């Protein structure tokens, strides 16, 4: 139930020695809280379309008082060197983990971005916005096609095109609204959620 500090530091060891910290570094297992949190973050992140290990590694780093090396992460999470390397590269690309230089150490160390809001807005910005912009373009293209059809001679075709045009327009409006909310979130929310709220207040009157 209590944490398992390290196999080397049994409860018989004289406690509070100077190298307690050094021993702490030799820990090979996650404590229960760390295990729970890295598991749940892994799931959340997977749910969000990333790899589970991205979430798990981020979580372990987030809960670590000090930066960790790839090797330590490998041990904690029972991953292969390759997986740790690839996952860290991905996390670095997303800007949610940083390389940290540790004095006197040759290998790289890694630390989590701890500003949750900044982190999430960064990911939203790159990922959701791209997706939604693509959708908006596609809906606009579809509407263009339907306009052409609506002007075609065949009234059956024209009638269907008109109905479809309305429906795609709904999708387009919805996507644009989503994009606006996202933009707002991204540009300012890391500082303050107020602009988003103001916007929604305005929207709610017209739509």
Partner DNA sequence: CAATAGTTTCAGAAACTTTTGAAAGTTTCG
Partner DNA sequence: CGAAACTTTCAAAAGTTTCTGAAACTATTG
Residue numbers at the binding site for DNA (CB under 7 A)? 51-53, 69-71, 78-83, 85-89, 105-108
- Per-residue HEC secondary structure of the chain comes to CCCCCCCCCCCCCCCCCCCHHHHHHCCCCCCHHHHHHHHHHHHHHHHCCCCHHHHHHHHHHHCCCCCEEHHHHHHHHCCCHHHHHHHHHHHHHCCCEEEECCCCCCCCEEEECCCHHHHHHHHHHHHHHHHHHHHHHHHHHHHHHHHHHHCCCCHHHHHHHHHHHHHHHHHHHHHHHHHHHHHHHHHHCCCCCHHHHHHHHHHHHHC
Shortest reach from residue 76's CB to a copy of itself, in Å: 14
Q: Does 8 help bind a copy of itself (rule: CB under 8 A)?
A: no
Q: Does 36 help bind a copy of itself (rule: CB under 8 A)?
A: yes
Q: Does 152 help bind a copy of itself (rule: CB under 8 A)?
A: yes
Q: How far is CA 15 from the centre of its chain?
A: 40
Other Cβ atoms closer than 10 A to 55: 25
Q: Does 10 help bind a copy of itself (rule: CB under 8 A)?
A: no
Select the span of 69-77, 84-92, 95-103, 187-195 touching a copy of itself (CB under 8 A): 187-195
Tell me which of a copy of itself, DNA, none is bound by residue 114, counting a contact when its beta carbon lies within the kind-specific cut-off of 5 to 8 angstroms.
Answer: a copy of itself
Which residue among 7, 8, 28, 47 contacts a copy of itself (CB under 8 A)?
Answer: 47
Binding-residue total with a copy of itself (CB under 8 A): 70
Binding site for a copy of itself (CB under 8 A): 1-3, 5, 15-16, 20-21, 23-24, 31-34, 36-37, 39-41, 43-44, 47, 49, 62-63, 65, 114, 116-117, 131, 134-135, 138-139, 141-143, 145-146, 148-149, 152-157, 159-161, 163-164, 167-168, 170-171, 174, 192-194, 196-201, 203-205, 207
């Amino acid at each position: 139930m209590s944490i398992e500090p390290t196999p080397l530091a049994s409860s018989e060891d004289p406690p509070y020695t100077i190298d307690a910290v050094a021993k702490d570094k030799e820990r090979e297992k996650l404590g229960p809280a760390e295990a729970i949190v890295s598991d749940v973050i892994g799931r959340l992140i997977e749910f969000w379309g990333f790899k589970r290990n991205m979430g798990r590694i981020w979580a372990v780093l987030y809960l670590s008082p000090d930066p960790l090396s790839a090797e330590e992460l490998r041990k904690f999470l029972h991953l292969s060197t390759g997986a740790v390397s690839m996952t860290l590269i991905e996390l670095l690309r997303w800007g949610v983990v940083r390389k940290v230089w540790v004095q006197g150490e040759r290998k790289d160390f890694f630390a989590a971005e701890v500003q949750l809001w900044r982190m999430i807005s960064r990911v939203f910005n790159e990922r959701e916005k791209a997706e939604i912009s693509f959708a908006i373009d596609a809906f606009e293209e579809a509407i263009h096609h339907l306009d052409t059809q609506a002007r075609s001679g065949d009234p059956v075709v024209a009638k269907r095109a008109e109905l479809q045009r309305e429906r795609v327009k709904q999708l387009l409006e919805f996507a644009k609204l989503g994009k606006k909310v996202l933009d707002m979130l991204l540009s300012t929310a890391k500082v303050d959620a107020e602009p988003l709220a103001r916007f929604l207040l305005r929207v709610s009157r017209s739509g």
